[in-house]
Amino acid sequence: MSVNVVTLVGRVGRDPEVRYFESGNVLAKCGLAVNRRSRNNDQPDWFNLEIWGKTAEIAANYVRKGSLIGVTGSLKLDSWQDRSTGALRTSPVIRVAQLDLLGSKRDNESPMGDNDDEF
């Protein structure tokens, strides 16, 4: 038996980058900073998030830079060949299955104050 489950809580590092595909599918990508406790100070660990479908639409509408969120998903490794060196590169990505908006509504409001949507 094998298990691949990741659960993280942290703050979003940038507004989600959202792509809409002709198939109707939606993809949102963003980074998540999770504080790591150390003796000297808190050092964030950064995780790349990949969010698909309806959950991606929710992220596009409600998640902004600085938002406190919780995610549950699985770890995957993206791999590609570097064009300039030809070396194989890999990058860990969290494929999000569940997204929880943890901040208050005030934390998630846009700077212009035009967020009239209810959670």
The pLDDT confidence band at residue 36, using thresholds 50, 70 and 90, is confident
Task: Tell me the pairing of strands 88-101 and 68-81.
Answer: antiparallel
pLDDT in tens, 38-52: 767 678 899 999 999
The pTM assigned to this predicted structure is 0.79
Confidence at residue 114, expressed as pLDDT on a 0 to 100 scale = 45
* Two structure tokens written together for 92: 């860990």
Structural domain spans, the chain: 6-106
Does pLDDT of 71 surpass 80? yes
Which of 13, 1, 2 has its CA nearest to residue 63?
13
Closest CA to 60 of 118, 17, 106: 17
For 6-106, CATH gives: 2.40.50.140
Task: Look at residue 37 and give its three-state secondary structure.
Answer: coil
